[in-house]
């Protein structure tokens, strides 16, 4: 344990910095190790908090801890609402509606029964905590979906359920608490119901008005571009605070509605706003998880008994699956999709924050077991985060609802060159999809049996019909250089700039025609243009897939094929990387090289036996 005086001497500024370092650092380490980020964040928070005493939120931040977490949750829910585009919901709409209208009240009922009969709580505490347990945690779902690479429809259902049900769960807890308060204080029931209805109505109207007002201000250019994000933040915080003054926790509903309105307003600057909010959300999720884990009190946890184990098992194996399966009965969802959603219900920040608050309030009005709500909530979050963090991806793959095990490549453009390259990649074991907005360009790849998509890959229709999660690399090689740049720039921000390549543009090495480094994809094919590649094929160049072995190395391949132009390399694990320069390429044993060979190169001498797979 770190000495308390030394740890306390860190001060709030250093403690705040350490929260960021450990939170973001845990996410980065999780990315490097291919582990669930939420799990590492919880571990980091527990280590720097109750284990070592390095960070103590109550000591370092005092009374600001609660408001900081509340504001962070508000921003997270707003970003979630902002990303829920009704136009892109598609065939998941019916399932989302049922998960909200049927799943939320049914989940409240089943969770209350589990808490009363499994955890042994009084009906007062069980009804309040049961309402909070409606939430499934957008702060947890988003990182898990990103890691597991789920199919589009179940991912949409889980994301929408988490975002929409979060404020509903908080309001359900408010309703139950009002009833308990009436029973303990003798207040009139009609007065309590009126207070609740007034608060919910005010939050709904406030969110709608604020969202519509911001959207209109942005549409009419009443706010300059450089001030849109600051204005959005200020309005968000003001709406949350104003709604909470009327009814506690109703601010979550107001900001979620506000985000939904703005997200569906078709703003020209929507993408920039959403990406900035996503970055802010990553920071806030990291910080909140570190703060909550660091606030864990081992003495409170020790007060829990064997009933806590029954409670967690009943929630994970009974209450959650039964709620989802009943709610989704009669939809066109497949059995695999229903099972995946039913057994995926991680809880997150909102559950812990709201449960701790209401547990304290119940204890203050005389409900003795209200103090157990906070520790039970943290145990549930800890177990569900760890369990789903490690099982969601393999469970989804077992059900056939995850991305392909071998990552594929999306090729933009159906030219002769891109078709030949796609065929060679398939021979190397790499899944491909050739997309082109020109139907005639897809005749050649279709004739060869290659998967194709006719249309603009940036369109909403593509999001609904193409499982983009199956592709981790993109090569923009259409005959329209401006379109290549647009696709590479737009998708690069989502997929990662290092996984997006683009064929060279004519004269791009000249200052007058050069583009900023922020636009377009990575260079490919030694700087050749599409016309140059097409001319090579007309001159008799052919595609070749070469397998390297410990006996036939890259040096042997280079010596045997001195004039070959390397286009891509595929590692022994199936990871694809396109090649900027043949001379700079580094390939390990058992990898494959996709290249272009000049006329007559294949017949110029003896091959290296089984190390060569054959020409495309």
Estimate the crossing angle of helix 65-82 against helix 138-148, to 10 degrees.
Answer: 50
Q: Which of 4-13, 76-85, 518-527 has the highest mean pLDDT?
A: 518-527
Report CA dihedral (459, 460, 465, 468) to the nearest 10 degrees.
70
Q: Beta strand 500-502 with 542-547: parallel, antiparallel or unpaired?
A: unpaired
Angle at Cα 513 formed by Cα 507 and Cα 516, nearest 5°? 120
- Please, which pLDDT band fits residue 7 given cuts at 50, 70 and 90? very low
Say if residue 85's pLDDT is above 80: no
Containing 65, the helix (H) or strand (E) segment is helix 65-82
Nearest to 111 by CA among 93, 85, 133, 135: 133
Architecture of the domain whose range is 408-615: 3-Layer(aba) Sandwich (3.40)
Both tokens of 196, joined, read 């609740």
Say if residue 101's pLDDT is above 80: yes
Tell the burial category of 397 from Cβ atoms under 10 Å away from its Cβ (0-12, 13-18, 19+).
middle
Q: How far apart are CA 412 and CA 433, in angstroms?
A: 8
3 state DSSP class of 505: coil
Both tokens of 279, joined, read 């970055």
Per residue in 87-96, pLDDT (tens digit) is 666 666 778 8
Q: How far apart are CA 76 and CA 278, in angstroms?
A: 9
- Please, which pLDDT band fits residue 614 given cuts at 50, 70 and 90? very low
Q: Beta strand 542-547 with 452-454: parallel, antiparallel or unpaired?
A: unpaired
Q: How far apart are CA 81 and CA 270, in angstroms?
A: 13
Instruction: Report pLDDT for 605.
Output: 36
Say if residue 373's pLDDT is above 80: yes
Residue written as token pair 């707003």: 78
Containing 546, the helix (H) or strand (E) segment is strand 542-547
Say if residue 106's pLDDT is above 80: yes
CATH 3.40.50.720 domain position(s) in the chain: 408-615
Both tokens of 233, joined, read 């933040």
Instruction: Report pLDDT for 304.
Output: 78
Say if residue 206's pLDDT is above 90: yes
> How much of the chain, in percent, has pLDDT values that exceed 70?
88
Containing 615, the helix (H) or strand (E) segment is strand 612-615
Say if residue 98's pLDDT is above 80: yes
By the 8 A CB rule, do 42 and 88 touch? no
Cα 166 off chain centre by: 17
Nearest to 315 by CA among 380, 369, 396: 380
Per residue in 389-443, pLDDT (tens digit) is 888 888 888 888 876 566 789 999 999 999 999 999 999 888 899 999 999 999 9
Instruction: Report pLDDT for 603.
Output: 45
Instruction: Report pLDDT for 604.
Output: 41
Instruction: Report pLDDT for 419.
Output: 94
- Please, which pLDDT band fits residue 2 given cuts at 50, 70 and 90? very low
Instruction: Report pLDDT for 269.
Output: 67
Instruction: Report pLDDT for 612.
Output: 41
Most distant pair of Cα atoms in the chain: their distance: 97
Specify which residues 378 forms β-bridges with.
none
The answer to whether the pTM exceeds 0.85 is: no
Both tokens of 483, joined, read 């379109």
Instruction: Number of helices (H) and strands (E) in the chain: give both, helices first.
Output: 26, 10
Instruction: Report pLDDT for 274.
Output: 66
Instruction: Report pLDDT for 477.
Output: 93
Average pLDDT, the chain: 81
Nearest to 173 by CA among 119, 202, 135: 135
For 244, phi and psi rounded to 5 degrees? -70, -25
Specify which residues 597 forms β-bridges with.
542
Specify which residues 592 forms β-bridges with.
547, 570
Instruction: Report pLDDT for 270.
Output: 63
Instruction: Report pLDDT for 616.
Output: 35
Reading phi first (left if > 0) and then psi (alpha if -120 to 50, else beta), residue 149 is in left
Q: How far apart are CA 508 and CA 527, in angstroms?
A: 9
3 state DSSP class of 412: strand
Where do the H-state alpha helices sit in 332-456? 335-342, 349-364, 373-398, 416-427, 443-447
- Please, which pLDDT band fits residue 470 given cuts at 50, 70 and 90? confident
Higher pLDDT, 157 or 145: 157
Higher pLDDT, 63 or 317: 317
> How much of the chain, in percent, has pLDDT values that exceed 90?
18
Tell the burial category of 220 from Cβ atoms under 10 Å away from its Cβ (0-12, 13-18, 19+).
exposed
- Please state, in angstroms and as integers, the Cα–Cα distance from residue 266 to each residue in 215, 234, 263, 465, following that order: 9, 21, 7, 21
Tell the burial category of 359 from Cβ atoms under 10 Å away from its Cβ (0-12, 13-18, 19+).
buried
Say if residue 5's pLDDT is above 60: no
Instruction: Report pLDDT for 446.
Output: 92
Instruction: Report pLDDT for 613.
Output: 43
The pLDDT of 512-528, averaged and rounded, is: 81
Instruction: Report pLDDT for 254.
Output: 86
* Side-chain half-sphere CA neighbours of 562 within 13 A: 3
Higher pLDDT, 76 or 367: 367
Q: Which of 67-71, 109-113, 217-221, 523-527 has the lowest mean pLDDT?
A: 67-71
Q: How far apart are CA 409 and CA 269, in angstroms?
A: 29
* Side-chain half-sphere CA neighbours of 599 within 13 A: 6
Instruction: Report pLDDT for 3.
Output: 47
Residue written as token pair 């650092």: 25
- Residues 6+ positions from 535 with CB-CB distance below 8 Å: none
Question: What's the sign of the alpha-carbon dihedral 181, 187, 190, 192?
Answer: negative
CATH 1.20.1530.20 domain position(s) in the chain: 4-193+266-398
Highest CATH level, class, for 4-193+266-398: mainly alpha
Angle at Cα 551 formed by Cα 421 and Cα 592, nearest 5°? 15
Please give the order of strands across the beta sheet that includes 565-570.
576-578, 565-570, 592-597, 542-547, 612-615
- Residues 6+ positions from 62 with CB-CB distance below 8 Å: none
Estimate the crossing angle of helix 530-538 against helix 416-427, to 10 degrees.
Answer: 80
Q: Which of 7-11, 221-225, 289-293, 458-462 has the lowest mean pLDDT?
A: 7-11
């Amino acid at each position: 344990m770190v000495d308390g005086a030394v740890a306390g001497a860190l001060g709030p500024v250093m403690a705040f910095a350490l929260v960021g370092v450990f939170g973001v650092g845990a996410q980065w380490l999780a990315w490097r190790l291919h582990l669930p980020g939420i799990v590492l964040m919880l571990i980091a928070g527990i280590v720097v908090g109750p284990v070592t005493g390095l960070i103590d939120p109550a000591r370092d931040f005092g009374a600001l801890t609660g408001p900081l977490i509340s504001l962070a949750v508000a921003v997270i829910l707003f970003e979630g609402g902002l990303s829920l585009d009704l136009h892109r919901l598609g065939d998941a709409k019916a399932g989302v509606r049922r998960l909200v209208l049927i799943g939320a009240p049914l989940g409240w009922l089943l969770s209350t029964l589990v808490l009363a009969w499994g955890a042994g709580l009084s009906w007062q505490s069980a009804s309040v905590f049961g309402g909070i347990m409606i939430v499934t945690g957008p702060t947890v779902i988003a990182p898990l979906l990103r890691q597991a690479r789920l199919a589009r429809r179940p991912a949409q259902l889980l994301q929408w359920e988490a975002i929409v049900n979060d404020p509903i769960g908080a309001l359900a807890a408010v309703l139950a608490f009002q009833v308990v308060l009436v029973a303990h204080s003798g207040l009139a029931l009609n007065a309590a119901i009126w207070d609740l209805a007034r608060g919910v109505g005010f939050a709904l109207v406030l969110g709608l008005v604020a969202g519509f007002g911001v959207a209109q201000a942005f549409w009419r250019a009443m706010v300059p571009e450089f001030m849109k994000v600051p204005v959005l933040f200020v309005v968000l915080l003001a709406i949350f605070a104003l709604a909470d003054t009327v009814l506690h926790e109703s601010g979550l509903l107001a900001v979620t509605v506000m985000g939904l309105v703005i997200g569906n307003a078709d703003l020209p600057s929507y993408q920039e706003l959403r990406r900035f909010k996503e970055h802010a959300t990553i920071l806030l999720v990291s910080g909140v998880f570190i703060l909550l884990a660091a606030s864990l009190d081992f003495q409170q946890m020790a007060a829990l008994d064997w009933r806590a184990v029954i409670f967690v098992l009943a929630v994970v194996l009974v209450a959650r699956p039964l709620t989802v399966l009943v709610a989704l009965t009669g939809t066109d969802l497949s059995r695999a999709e229903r099972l995946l959603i039913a057994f995926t219900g991680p809880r997150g920040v909102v559950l812990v924050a709201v449960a701790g608050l209401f547990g304290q309030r119940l204890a203050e009005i005389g409900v003795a077991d209200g103090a157990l709500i906070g520790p039970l909530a943290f145990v549930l979050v800890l177990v569900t985060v760890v369990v789903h963090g490690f099982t969601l991806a393999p469970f989804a793959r077992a059900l056939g609802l995850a991305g392909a095990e071998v990552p594929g490549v999306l090729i933009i453009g159906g030219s002769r060159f891109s078709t030949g390259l796609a065929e060679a990649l398939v021979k190397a074991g790499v899944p491909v999809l050739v997309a082109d907005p020109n139907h005639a360009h897809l005749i050649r790849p279709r004739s060869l049996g290659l998967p194709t998509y006719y249309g603009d890959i940036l369109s909403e229709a593509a999001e609904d019909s193409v499982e983009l999660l199956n592709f981790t690399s993109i090569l923009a090689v259409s005959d329209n250089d401006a379109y290549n740049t647009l696709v590479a720039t737009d998708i690069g921000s989502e997929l990662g700039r290092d996984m997006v390549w683009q064929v060279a543009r004519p004269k791009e090495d000249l200052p007058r025609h050069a583009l900023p480094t922020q636009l377009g994809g990575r260079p490919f094919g030694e700087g050749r243009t599409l016309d140059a590649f097409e001319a090579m094929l007309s001159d008799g160049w052919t595609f070749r897939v070469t397998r390297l072995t410990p006996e036939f190395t890259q040096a042997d391949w280079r010596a045997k094929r001195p004039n070959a132009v390397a286009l891509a390399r595929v590692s022994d694990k199936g990871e694809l990387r396109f090649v900027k320069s043949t001379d700079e390429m580094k390939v390990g044993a058992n990898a494959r090289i996709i290249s272009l060979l000049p006329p007559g190169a294949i017949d110029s001498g003896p091959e290296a036996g089984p190390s060569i797979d054959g020409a495309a």
